[in-house]
Amino acid sequence: MTTLILGTATAGQNRPLIAVPVIGTTISAVLGQVEQINESRADVIEWRVDYLTDLVNLRAADVQTILFNADKPVIFTWRTATEGGQRPFDIALYELVYRLAIKTGVAAIDIEHQLFTQVADLVADAHIAQVPIINSQHFFADTPMNLDQVFGQALTTAADVIKVATMPQTDGDVDYLLATTHQFATQGKPLITMAMGELGQRTRTIGGRNGSQLTFATLGAASAPGQLDLATLLTLLED
């Protein structure tokens, strides 16, 4: 299994990295949340830039300020509205802000699987700059019954890490995601997987045993259904 490394953070054999999302709507609010995470036992920060109300005016200096003040590696993410985010996809603005992130040296960028062909030049730029790319897919309605194809197709892209999040309707759906994660964990790219909602919460604590190398927790508002608060997650992981 290829170990997930994000900046200075390295996943353990059975202990996934813990990322806490930053969902501030202004740079000032983002800084405040970053400082809170700095004092926590989280390993990684995910900056959800789709929450910024003035994203169109994001500058390189803003990104540099966040990275300078972050004591932990930062994943840069614009989650589109079609996959549960706050903004619709705008290719011109998307490429602009992602290039700012690449040039300023974030630990990784998250690009949704559906966008890879549309932003192929951006993907190439990230590889030239040696910024890892997370290929992400989010299924908010259900758990696809062809998860092997979902993982397989993602593995063929130029991504460095594969992320799949599903919405289970039954315990069997949760078991299916865990089993598929285990199946693909040795296919050459690190995996990040979770089943969302209350039904899927156990994947956030035991997913590491099946090959998922990062999980998400909160220090405030959640950015996805089923995220546990950091203190609870740490207790369960160390149990």
Which value, in Å, is the radius of gyration of the alpha carbons in the chain? 16
pLDDT of 224 strictly over 70: no
| pTM, full prediction | 0.96
DSSP type of residue 215: E
- State the Cα–Cα distance between residues 94 and 149, nearest whole angstrom: 27
Report the range of poorest mean pLDDT among 44-53, 142-151, 164-173, 220-229.
220-229
pLDDT band at residue 221 using 50, 70 and 90 as cut-offs: low
Q: Which range has the worst mean pLDDT, 11-15, 26-30, 133-137, 153-157? A: 11-15
Could you list the active site residues? 138, 163
Amino acid identity, residue 165?
A: A
Check the annotation: does 187 bind a ligand.
no
Phi then psi for residue 149, to 5 deg, are -70, -40
The least confident of 24-38, 90-104, 148-162, 209-223 is 209-223
Model pLDDT, residue 223: 64
CB 75 within 8 A of CB 44: yes
- What backbone phi and psi angles, to 5 degrees, belong to 16? -70, 155
Residue 204 marked in a binding site: yes
Q: Which of 86, 184, 189 is nearest to 133 (CA)?
A: 189
Which helix (H) or strand (E) is 230 found in, with range? Answer: helix 230-238
Residue 47 annotated in ligand binding: yes
Q: Is 28 annotated as a binding residue?
A: no
Go through the domains of the chain in sequence order and give each one's CATH number. Answer: 12-238 (3.20.20.70)
Distances, alpha carbon 129 to alpha carbons 68, 100, 108, in Å: 19, 12, 11
**Rounded to whole angstroms, how far apart are CA atoms 44 and 104?**
17
Measured at the CA of 10, the angle between CA 148 and CA 184, to 5 degrees, comes to 10
Is residue 24 helix, strand or coil? coil
Query: Is 46 assigned to a binding site?
Result: yes
CA distance to 34, 99, 173, per residue, from 169 (Å): 34, 38, 6
